[in-house]
Each structure stands twice: as C-alpha cells, then as structure tokens.
Structure 1
Amino acid sequence: MDERIDRLRAKANSLDVKPGVYLMKDRTGVIIYIGKAKRLKNRVVSYFRQNKGHNEKVRKMVSLVEDFDYIVCDSEFEALVLECSLIKQYTPKYNILLKDDKGYHYVKVTGGQYPQIQAVKQKLSDGAAYIGPYTSSFSVKQSVDEVNKVFMLPVCGKKFPEEFRKTRPCLNYHIKNCAGICMGKVSPADYQQTVKEAVSYLKNGSADSIDQLKHQMEEAAENLEFEKAAKLRDRLLAIQRLAQTQKVLLNTDKDQDFIGIEHSVSTACVAVLKFRGGQLHDKDDFFFYDVYDTEELLLQFLSQYYVKGGDIPKFISLSIELSDLALYQDYLSELAGYKVNLHVPQKGEQKRLIEMAQSNALEQLSLRLNKKSREIVAQQELGKLLGLSKEPEYIESYDISNIGNDYMVGGMVVFANAKPLKSAYKKFSMKENQTQDDYACMREMITRRFKNYFDESVQDEGFKRLPDLILLDGGKGHVNVVEPLLREMGIDVPVFGMVKDSKHKTRAIASSGGEIQIYGNKAAFRLATQIQDEVHRFAISFQRAKHKKNTFTMGLTSVKGIGEKKAFTLLKAFKTQKAMKEATIEELRTAGKLNAETASALYAYLHPEIQP
C-alpha cells in the first residue's frame, strides 16, 4: 500500500461535511491545485480513492500531493468567492488559468503624400500616426477593413506615387472597393482629404460621418459641383449599407455575451461573441491545454473572465448546461452590482448565435491543432456514441483475410486524429491457425500484438502505445472473443465491432451487448466507414501479395535444381520479383548459391520472352 495516500485519505476522512475550499500542496509546500466543495470531506476523500474515473490530469496532480490545507465556509457561495480569490492569488499549476497574453493593437496611418490605414500590433517611432491602443484585434481589423472599403482606400501595399501606372488596377478597383489610386488620377490633396475623413469616421463613428457627408453633399450640389456630390452620395450609401448589415445579428439592442466551447482530446477553445447595443462589438478566443472536463473549464472561465467586473453584460448565453448555474449567476451578479442572467439557448435567434460561437471555437481549435474541423467533430461524435470517457484520438482496427484455408493473414491499421497513420500499420501471417476460423485468427493476431506491447525487447513504437479504442471488422461474435482476451492480458481498452450490410457498407457498431446504429451521426459514420474500408483494403492487399509471392515461389521450384529452401533464399536476397528479373545470371548464381547450369535455367524461366 502507498503510505502517502493512506495518510492523506485518513486526514481527508477527518474533515467536516460542510462547504469549503481545499488547497493541494506538493512536497515543497507549493500550492498546485485549489478547489471548492459543497461537502468538503466527500470531495477531498474522492481524490485519494482507487478511482478509475479520474482523468490523466487528476491522476498526475494526486501523484504530486504531499499535503493539503482547507478552509471551512458558511455557504457554497462563500466557498466560490474564496476559491476565485485564492486562484487569482496563487495561480496553481493544475487549475485552469485564464492567461492575459493578449497584446495591444493600433490603427496606423502611414505618412507621405498617399498615406494608408492599416491594423498593426506595435507602435513604432516611424513618423506614422497611431490611433489606440486597443485590446481587441478583432475590433481593430474589422474597423480598418470597414473604413478602407467605405472610403475606397488602397490595401495593396503599393508605394505611391512611385508605382503610378506601372500595373493595371487590381480587382478591388473593378468591384468598387478602391478608387484606383494606382492610375495616378487622384491628387495628393484630394487623397489626404479622403484619409482625413476616414480617420474621423474611425474616431467618431458612422452616425457623425453620415451627418457630415450629408452636409458636404448638399453643399457640393448647391455649388453645382455635381461630380463631387455624386462621390459623396456613393460614400454615404456605402456607410448606410454597412450599418444595415451590422444590425442583422440581434433583434434587440441589449448587451449580451455568447460563450461557445469546443474540445479535442486535451485541448479546448473558448470563444466569446460580445454584442453591445445589439451589434457584434468584439470577439475573444482563449485556448486551454491538459483539459478533460468542459464543465469544469467553463465554470473556472466564467469566474476568471468576468472577475474584474468592468464589462459584465446582463445576459450571458452558454453552449453547455452547468450543474452550478444558479451559484455562478449569483456570483456574477454580485461582481456586476446588478442581476446577471445565465442560460443555455434552446431555439430561435439565441440558439443560432450560440451555435455561431461554437462554430468559431471549433474553427479556431482546428487551426491551432492543425486539424480539419470535421475530423474533430468525427472523433467527438464517435466517442459520445460509444460512451467513451474520452475522445478516441488513437484508434487501432483489425481484419482477417484468407483464400479458403490458405494464406491466412491479418491486418492492423491505425487512425490518429481521424487520419490514417500508415507508419503504424502492421501485418500478421497466421502461425497457429491455418484453417478458416476468423475468431481463432483474430485471437492470435490480438495476442501477438499485445505481447509485443509488454515485451521490453521490442522497440517498435507502433507496438509500444496503447490505443484509445479498438475497432474489429466484424460483429458481436468478434467482440466477445477479443474482450475476455484483453482482460486476461490486463489491457483496459474499449473494443467494438464494425458491422456491414448486404452491400458491404458499414451499418452499425457492435458491442458485447448488441448493436449501436450510427446512421444518424454523420461525422462518426464517415469515420467508421473510412476505418472499416481501410482495414479491409490493407488486409486483403496483404493476402493477395502473399498469394502472389507464394505462387511465384512455387514457380521457382519448377526449375530443376531449385527447391523450397533455395527459392526462399533467392526471395530473401532480391526482395521483389522485379529485382530478381533484373539480375544477371552471375548475380542469381551467387545469391542462390546455384551451379552454372541451374542459374542459367533460372534466368531462362525469369525471361520467357527471350527463349527461342
């Protein structure tokens, strides 16, 4: 028994069954985790039980705990407030921490006769004018794109007037997003006036710009400057159109945040869409690593993201249900000084916008992990469908192939992050089972695969890693053969079968208790079908290659002076039929240890096209 765990469990059993906060410490006394509990004793004791339900992060944290402190509170709300305060103070290693690593952003107006408006991350001493700083890159980029379109300013990066008339106007000119400055028909004075108006638009907003443009347009028309009035009218219409498109997102003018979460293996992304006055005002994305519980992540995110209390909207929509929803709603209300409503939208516009937040989180996560969003969704769907405790990142699949009682072979394919990992594929030629018995062959293949896992002399990385999921090309019978075998070997990996229909298409997932239909889960269905098709292709390709090789071997033994042993020696030396056919008589003689007559006869057999 572990003396450390016994000691900690005994201490935990002495705690009170009241709300409180606990502080886990390592052997140096450093606080590595802080948590709250409605019932302090029950929660702390759970860490020191032999609990297979603990995820990898918790197991690792518990392995480092040498002692813990605790603070009893009068209520769960008081415990939550204290937990948030202590996490902020100590920033423990194993708590989910919201790091403020966002830099400042600026709007840059370059110098010269033809200045350009750009979104930049740094303020330099380069003579340019800067507007800012802003903390939101989203707002800065959106504003710069908007103002360049409305005022038809160039975004091509060309230097003017040096590059006047050197190239044809780009697409932006033809779609009326640019005035075509590169043609040299806009004077520096007119251009700088346009930039001045654009900067005013950035600083004062569209309402002031609309009033100003209306006044200028009317003044130009009175002075019979119709061309100028027409340009001002077009700019005014562009601003009004842009303002209209910005108002389609919320039907009310209330302030509201939509928080979406997407999770893949141990990495998660939280996306916050911030609506102010009914318009999308800002967007934040945060990444978290070594995360296994999305509810825990969201709870700690809420307490840390809004902890300053400066910009808490009255309405916050969430993508997942929380068991402590009312508790955190009260906590945020106290921070804000007014009632804050937390809810999970179920329909209508609110549902559409929370799905938008989730889509944004998924897209950002796929970019960060260098994975396609559909691959992340496929893993998530398959894990949920099969009731797995975690998303299956690393999947092994097995199939048996044969021709009657001959050439009994098996194939193992691996899918990592929903993509084939061909470097980990394995081939098995049956040694113990030479009859047409798929169950016996599957048992032999699985046994040999995991014996290699336990064998310390085996260095092949494809054998040294345990999969998150095993999929067999077969039904309930295959699962019932393999599951007991894995238990005997001490392997704790979930096993399922893949069942085909009459057209050899994946129909369902088989478990020891029956079948799970997958047609309704498109991403999971596509992934399971891809895996089943690939393992079948790999196994049958190996079986056909072996059959072809054995047929060739039998042909070699038809040459006088060559038996099975010499045929095997020749194949081992040349590896392929092509290499053997390209060999000279002398090379054949040396490799097979043949006499001159047999080597000549073999060469003649390999080259029937040159025989008289």
Structure 2
Amino acid sequence: MSKAKPPVFDGKDFVRNLSTAPGVYRMIAADEGVLYVGKAGALRNRVSSYFNATPKSARIMAMLAQVARMEVTVTRTETEALILENQLIKSLKPRYNVLLRDDKSYPYVLMTNEAWPRISMHRGPRAVPGRYFGPYASVLAVRETLNLIHKLFRLRSCEDSVFRNRSRPCLQHQIGRCSAPCVGMVQARDYAQSVQRATLLLEGRSDELTDDLGKAMEAASARLDFEEAARLRDLVVSVRSLQARQYVDGRAADLDVLAIAMQGAAACVLLLAFRDGRNLGTRAFFPKTNGSDSPTEVLAAFVSQYYGEQTPPGEIVLDREIPDRELLEQAFAATAERKVQIKASVRGERAGYLDMARRNAEMALASERTSHAAQHARAEALREMLGLAALPSRIECFDISHTMGEATVASCVVFDAEGPVRGQYRRYNITGIVGGDDYAAMHQAIGRRFRRAVEESGVVPDVLLIDGGAGQVAQARAALDDLGVEGVMLVGVAKGVARRAGDEELLLPDGRILHPGAESPALQLIQQVRDEAHRFAITGHRGRRQKVRNSSRLEDIPGIGPRRRANLLRHFGGLGGLKAAGVEEISRVEGVNAALAERIYATLHGLQAPDAAMPTTTTRSDG
C-alpha cells in the first residue's frame, strides 16, 4: 500500500489569520526540519509576500515547495523580533538561512565571574562563566591587551587552584602586575573598581574611563591622599597615551570595517577591527550561504548574527547598504548601552580601510576556494578507492589513547565535505576494562557511540575509520553487529611495515588490504582525519591523567580531615609543594606529628605507609 502524500501547504489561507504585529515566522518541512526563520515588522505583510504572484528566485521557489506548515511567534517590538530571529537561527540552523559558522579557534580575553575575577586568554567553547571580549585576530593582540590590563589595573591571572592555596604574594605582585588578592593585600571594593575600569577599557570606552579616573583623582586630592592621586594621574596619562597611538579621521578609532566577496554561493566576510586606538588586525569569516548568491543578503545576515553575540563598537562601516539598518542600530545600541552607527558611505581614511578590507576579502575567498577544491578532490579520490556510490558526507574516526593502561580515553572526530566539524567531536572515558586492552576499549567506545544513534535515530557516518589493525577493526565490526548498524563503510588504518607516514595499510570490509602510497589524495584525506583523531585522543588522555595525578589523596590517609588538609595545602601552596617536601618539613605544619607526616610522605610517593594504629619507632645502631 503506497504512502499518502502530505497535503500541500496553503500559504494564502494561512496568511488570512495572521496578525500585523511584529514577530518571527518559521517554515517547516514534512520531516519537521526547519527550512527558514525570518523576522517581520508586520507578520501578515511579510509572510504574504512569499505566496503572491511576484516572481521569485529559484532558491525561494525550491524552499516554498518543501513547506508543510508554518509557525509564528508574535513579539512586542521589531527589535525583539530581530533578537529572537538570531536566537532561533543559531539553535535551529535552518536549511535556507545564511548561517554564521561558529569558529572557536580565535582567542578572546576572558574576565571570569567570581568574587575576585581573573583575566586571561581563552580559546574554545565558552564554558567558563564570565565576560568574553573579542574575538581578537591573533594571540599577539590578546597578549598585548592582557599585558596592558595587568600593568594598569593589576588584576590576577592565576588559576583558581593556585589562587586559593597561596600563602604569600607571587612574582606578579612583586613586579607590579597583580594586587595580590590571594593574600588579602587589596580590599574587595578596590579590586572590584579595578575590574570595572578594565572592563571599560576592553569595551573601548576609554573616554568614560578617563573621566572616572579624573574624578577619582580629584577626590583623592581633596582628602589629601596625594599618593593615590599620583597613581590615578599616572593611569590617566597611560590611557591618554594609548588613545594617541592611532586615530582615524582625527579621532580615536573604535570601529569595525566589513567587506564581502562572493563567487557563486561561496562568500567571505572580512572584518577589520579597531578598539580604543588599537588595530586588532583582520579576520576572515566564511558564512554558510545555503544557496544564496546575494552579497547584500549574506552581509546583512552576517551583521545581524555576529553582533547578536559580540558587543558592537560605536561605529560599523560596511561596503554596501543593507536592509533594516536602523532596526539593527537600535538593537545593537540596546546591547551595547550606547549609540551604535552603521555606515556604508564613508570618506577619507575609512574609505581606505574599506578598500583594504575588500581586497583582503577577495584574496581570502580565493585561497579558501582553492583549499575547498583540494578537499573535494581528496574526497572524490576516497570515494573512488572505496567504491562508494557518492561522496562521503560524513567521516568519523576513532582512536584510543592511554599510558601503560592508565586513564584510557577514546576519541571520535567528525569531518564533512568542508573539513572538520569540531562541534561534534566526542571523547569517551573508558572504564571497566583491563588497563591496556585496546580491543575492549574500542568495542566499548564504538558501542557507546552507535547505541545512542540507534536509540535516538541519530546520524551515522558514511565512512568509519578505525586507527588500528585487524584486532581493533574486528572489535568495531562486532560492536556494530551487536547493535544492528548497517550501511557504514568500516576501514582500518594500520601502520605499514616501515611505520612511517605514507606507508599506511587500509583494511577494507571485504578483506582486501590497500597500500595507496603517500601520493594518494585519498590517503592524504584519511591521514588528515586520523591525525586529528590522534591529537584529540592524546589531549583528552593527558587531561584525564593529569586530573587523576593532581587529585589529592590526602583524604585517604587516616587522621587527615578537612582542617589538616587545608593547613597542609595552604602551607605548601598546593599539592605540588607538599609532594616536594620532606617528612621533617611536613611535620612542622600545625596539627601534623611525625607519624602522620611519615604516612603523608609515603602515600604521596607510592611507598608503603606505616600502620596508622601502630606507633612508629626508629632503631639506631651505634655499631
């Protein structure tokens, strides 16, 4: 019996019941996948434009042909609609929206959200609570910024484990780069004020900062605190000096310059950033256009999504006009709590920066397209070598890492047609096996990965690479068979006889062993994926191993309670200092006698500890 076709969506009928209020609409396909998310100042007017007789592009017609239903959310204002649209695009990743790809490789300055905030460089997912400033174009720009913040405001940079266990100021305090909150050498109120001033500088609000410092300097002079007034005066001079380093059209620069280059549906948006008189360099973005070939549409989507997450500067210069410019200005101003201007017609130095951004965007796009062409050629070679019907759209690779059986970790990395998909990487802490049993570890990792895919109807790869020989591949096949997973091309990647790059052996499901050679584009792609899995596994293993080794075993020693543990760690500045201490040094800590010191020393160094119930005696022979 043939399956009935779903009814055709009647857009005109749907529009009749819509409000003219602002809001967000979502087009949804028959498989419940979201096709498109859009905002509207008047929902009825905007949605009806899709279903009238006006000619539309092939891309829009293809999208409308897949619509099974629509959903709308009414908002109070068009600005709220813009914010909600950005949130939904980021979370739902619609098939036909222009998408700003998340790139976690660029560095940020992180100000943690703690009683005594720490400032440091940050890469990767924003898992640490706090404020993130950036992204910066290079690590050098971040280090220059941090160096300035430490010199001016003396904020701490140490990790919490160090901060909590220090008993005296560190070298950073001695050279005037930290106010030593770890040992109470600065009041909480004064430290919070320094954090606030550093935040103003990072946000590019140096005029407000100098005004604040000037008022504080006058107040210090009025109460005859001339030493504090002199310190604040020096701060003002430093900030003024910073502002004088670079100007645009005679004013301190605090702007972003954006230009777009497109070839077909491939796009590059280049960002040239200035903050508080400092040129932070350029950064190239390659948004996923999902078929759009309109530079204006892509740039508008980029600006909306990018500054929906990043704090915008006071001025944004674009190489072309975009729709909803005034609405975006209002939304960005609400986020930044100050006026934000978006300009497309500029003169003088701004026009020169815009021209530079255009040229860099074109060069970056040309370079990216060349690399994509090479990636496509490698994927095509892999398809041909493995006899696949189509190019692999998803490749996964598993690797196992441990040190003599300790802290075993399995990694899974994911590549698609465009390269690594880092947001879908996974690590598995392997437990319940004999240390060093790579076969059992691989069976467990594959089982955990694909069991979830089976239970939740998740995605499976076209090609599954196993870093290992016949034994690991057999375990992976057994795990897949146990779960009933089919349609996955399983390939083992084993070191060749010479055990050098380019000599790998590929173990295929039909029993064949291939030696493609170093010149093979297919093997080059496999090596890229395998090496990434190896790197990701080693990083996870080292982190887990270090965590195990750094975890305090003091709790396992009879006679060590919370107070004695805290005294020991405080006295020696952490577990590392305690491990380096001798028995006599340990026994000097308050509440620790000689017998307990011996047990502590023995436990931390893997020796046989004296019996806690028996007093320790020392026999001396004078013979």
Q: Please confirm whether the aligned pair reaches a TM-score higher than 0.5, indicating the same fold.
A: no
Q: Which has the larger radius of gyration?
A: 1
TM-score in terms of structure 1 length: 0.37
TM-score in terms of structure 2 length: 0.36
